[in-house]
């Protein structure tokens, strides 16, 4: 089902809205006083939802749309008093629905004067929508602060109700040239910007830069190049950072030159987020990952990469093969007796990885540390400083 949501504002009761010719594209334009109806003609939604306050110009809107009968007089008085009820809107909306040939819902909303009223508008919208609905939102009319709320509503409804917000429209009457037509603006790019902001927040929380792949594809990066970023993220998160480095080295030049509308805006930030792969040695890169995961409070990965970095550096110093499991174990065993912090780090990593605590003095010490987050964070920082 497709649904158009349109705001109805409070205008001059003697004039209502001004008639304008809204230009949608080179071939389509409609002359209307209320942009939502021009948009209805253009989009042909399955349903129209009109949002307005108890003092919105309901009576002028319905009068202009040819609604007649006993319902109009009490509606006029109610608008003047600012106490319109849904009961008074029922008959006019049914007449309008019959004329348009689609269901029409009139949803009364508060004035969005504070957080409580703003949240109430979102609740009322969520109550009349179903998962999977495709929405268009018209923010042309209504109070000037409502478009900001509409942007939040689009994101909220998408996340909570699982609707798909296709586009946000604005009939830019103030941009109409003398004796010309009114342009119709599409503001869906704002939603795409929020997708990027969400992706950055996701990355900062869990380190998964694979979330940028679909955004880069939408932003015109070749799909194969963008997939390298997701592949790199997968390799890193499955403890194969060197394969991640190979993928990042391949995709990084594409990110550096990417100049898509939004990717270009976030390019430098993305480069900074994945810059760990530029470390000169393997143990430098693993240490960078350990620091990044500790910053995100991902203690298991922080301990794992810290341990791996120490072992890799030990292999480097001993000139042994840091990719051979046996040589890595031997290199660690050669230094663990003289480096208590290394043994402590390995015990801590094992305790975090396995969950089930083994017996023994060192295991009991690790269990005690893990039981308190501040103690665990402090110990990991101390081990990092001692070993590096």
Taking alpha carbons only, the member of 201, 123, 192, 129 closest to residue 162 is 129
Q: What is the pLDDT of residues 8-17, one digit of tens each?
A: 987 665 666 7
Q: Which DSSP string corresponds to 207-228?
A: --GGGHHHHHHHTT--HHHHHH
Residue 286 sits in the same domain as residue 177: no
Considering its fold, how many domains does the chain have in total?
3
Give the residue from 90, 97, 124, 121 showing the smallest Cα distance to 40: 97
242 and 157 belong to one structural domain: no
Residues 269 and 289 in one domain: no
Q: Which of 137, 158, 186 is the last residue of a domain?
A: 186
147 and 290: one domain?
Answer: no
pLDDT, tens only, 285-302: 999 999 999 999 999 999
210 and 326, same domain (yes or no): no
pLDDT at residue 363 greater than cutoff 70: no
Give the residue from 19, 27, 83 showing the smallest Cα distance to 56: 83
Give the DSSP H or E segment for 169. Answer: strand 164-171
What confidence score (pLDDT) does residue 359 get? 57
C-alpha 37/C-alpha 101 separation (Å) is 12
Q: Are residues 11 and 129 in the same domain?
A: yes
Q: Is 61 exposed, middle or buried (0-12, 13-18, 19+ CB in 10 A)?
A: buried
* Judgement on whether residues 134 and 152 belong to the same structural domain of the protein: yes
- With residue 337 as reference, give the H or E element that holds it: none
Range of the domain at 222: 195-278
pLDDT attached to residue 68: 73
- Whichever domain contains 289, its CATH number is 1.20.120
> Global pTM?
0.80
Q: How confident is the model at residue 354 (pLDDT cuts 50, 70, 90)?
A: confident
Q: Do 160 and 210 sit in the same domain of this protein? A: no
d(Cα 64, Cα 17) in Å, to the nearest integer? 10
- Classified as helix, coil or strand, 201 is helix
Residue that finishes a domain, picked among 227, 254, 278:
278
Residues 150 and 13 in one domain: yes
Cα–Cα nearest to 305, from 258, 239, 370, 355: 239
Taking CB atoms within 8 Å and a gap of at least 24, the contacts of 154-157 are: 154/191, 155/191, 155/194, 156/122, 156/126, 157/122, 157/125, 157/126, 157/129
Q: Do residues 97 and 103 lie in contact, with contact meaning Cβ atoms separated by under 8 Å?
A: yes
pLDDT digits (tens, 9 = 90+) for 191-236: 999 999 999 999 888 889 999 999 999 999 999 999 999 999 999 9
Are 215 and 256 in a shared domain? yes
């Amino acid at each position: 089902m497709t649904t158009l949501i349109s705001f109805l504002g409070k205008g001059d009761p003697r004039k209502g809205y001004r008639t304008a010719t809204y230009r949608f594209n080179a071939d389509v334009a409609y002359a209307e006083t209320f942009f939502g109806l021009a948009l209805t003609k253009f989009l042909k939604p399955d349903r129209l939802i009109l949002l307005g306050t108890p003092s919105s110009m309901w009576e002028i809107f319905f009068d202009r749309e040819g609604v007649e009968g006993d319902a109009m007089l009490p509606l006029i008085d109610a608008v003047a008093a600012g106490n319109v009820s849904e009961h008074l809107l029922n008959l006019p909306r049914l007449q309008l629905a019959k004329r348009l040939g689609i269901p029409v819902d009139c949803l009364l909303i508060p004035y969005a004067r504070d957080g409580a009223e703003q949240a109430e508008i979102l609740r009322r919208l969520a109550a009349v929508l179903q998962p999977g609905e495709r929405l268009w939102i018209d923010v042309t009319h209504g109070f000037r602060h409502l478009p900001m709320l509409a942007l939040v509503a689009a994101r909220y409804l998408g996340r909570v109700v699982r609707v798909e917000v296709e586009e946000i429209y604005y009939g830019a009457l103030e941009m109409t040239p003398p004796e010309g037509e009114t342009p119709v603006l599409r503001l869906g790019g704002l939603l795409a910007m929020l997708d990027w902001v969400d992706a950055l927040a996701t990355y900062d929380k869990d380190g998964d830069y694979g979330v940028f792949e679909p955004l880069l594809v939408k932003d015109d990066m070749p799909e194969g190049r963008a997939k390298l970023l997701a592949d790199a993220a997968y390799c890193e998160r499955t403890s194969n950072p060197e394969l991640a480095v190979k993928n990042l080295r391949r995709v990084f030049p594409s990110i550096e030159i990417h100049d898509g509308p939004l990717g270009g805006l976030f390019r430098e930030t993305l480069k900074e987020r994945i810059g760990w792969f530029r470390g000169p040695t393997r143990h430098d890169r693993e240490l960078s990952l350990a620091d990044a995961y500790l910053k995100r409070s991902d203690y298991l990965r922080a301990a794992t990469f810290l341990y791996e970095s120490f072992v890799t550096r030990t292999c480097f110093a001993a000139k042994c093969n840091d990719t051979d499991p046996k040589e890595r174990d031997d290199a660690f065993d050669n230094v663990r007796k003289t480096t208590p912090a290394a043994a402590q780090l390995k015990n801590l990593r094992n305790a975090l990885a396995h969950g089930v605590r083994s017996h023994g003095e060192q295991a009991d010490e690790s269990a005690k540390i893990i039981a308190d987050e501040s103690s665990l964070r402090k110990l990991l920082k101390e081990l990092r400083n001692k070993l590096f």
